[in-house]
Structures are given as structure tokens and as C-alpha cells.
Structure 1
Amino acid sequence: MFCAKEAAYKAQYPLTKTLFGFDRLDVTLSAENPAFDAQFTQDTERFKRGEKLPGRIVSVAGHLVSGVAIGQIDRKGA
């Protein structure tokens, strides 16, 4: 969860320049593929409550790697 929330936080920061705690994001992991959604629990500078940032999380050489790309790929294929 930390890895996914950190990826979402770092992806949104260049757009919002807003510091906030991890309680502002809820993460839901997908059971079928290495994907997750980070959903905002409160409004922020650019994102409204309920908006989701899609991401991926995989294990590589014993390490978890996660990423979120805002505006790079569509939400269905993120």
C-alpha cells in the first residue's frame, strides 16, 4: 500500500504543489492484474474527492516497483 500511495503522491505533486498526508488517498489493488487505483478522499488543488489515479505495481528482482502516469495513458490501460 505504501508503495502505491507514494507513487500516486509523487505523480500528483508536480501538478498541485500540495503537500498532504497519506490519508488523502485510498488505494485499491486489483486481484486480476498488477494494477491499482489511488482515489482521493478529499478535494485537492487539482483533483476532486473520488477522482482516481491508475497505477501499476510489480515485483522486480525482489523489489516492489510502482508507478502512476498522469496524462500519459488512458485510464483503462494504465
Structure 2
Amino acid sequence: MEQTLINSPRLSTKYRRLYIITEDGIPLYEVNEWLEANSRNSYGTGVSCANEIMDYLRFLKKLEIHYREVKRKSIIEEFIK
């Protein structure tokens, strides 16, 4: 997970913190779009969501499953347990 600042003219500081999740240095587009949409209003939410997503992606990597290949609810339930 990488952290960067992006220009945001609507904020008094002109910058906001953005978390980017990458695999082998390449950003994961769908994952980052979801993360951006769900953490727009709160820095704390962005940190929390990014950490949870990283845990989930590590879990999938141990199972040797790409996040796009998750089709069964049982995989998600196993992660939650």
C-alpha cells in the first residue's frame, strides 16, 4: 500500500491523502476506485479500509486466488472468521 497526496482545490490545505494499493508496483484499478469512493469524506475511513483490503488481498494470495476470481461466498466467510 502506498500513500500519496493529491491536489484538491476544495480543501483549505489544497491536498488530501490518498491510499493506493498496488501489486508488483502496478495500481489495482478496481480496488483503488472502491477505496477512493468510500474514503472521500474521512481520512480515518481511508486508513481503515486500506488496511482491511490489504488483509483480504493477503488472505487471497495465501489461497492463490486473484481477487477477480472470487466467486464463492464461502471464501469471503472464511476470511471474516
Flag whether TM exceeds 0.5 (same fold).
no
Structure with more helix by fraction: 2
Structure with the greater alpha carbon radius of gyration: 2
Structure with more strand by fraction: 1
TM-score (normalizing by structure 1)? 0.33
TM-score (normalizing by structure 2)? 0.32
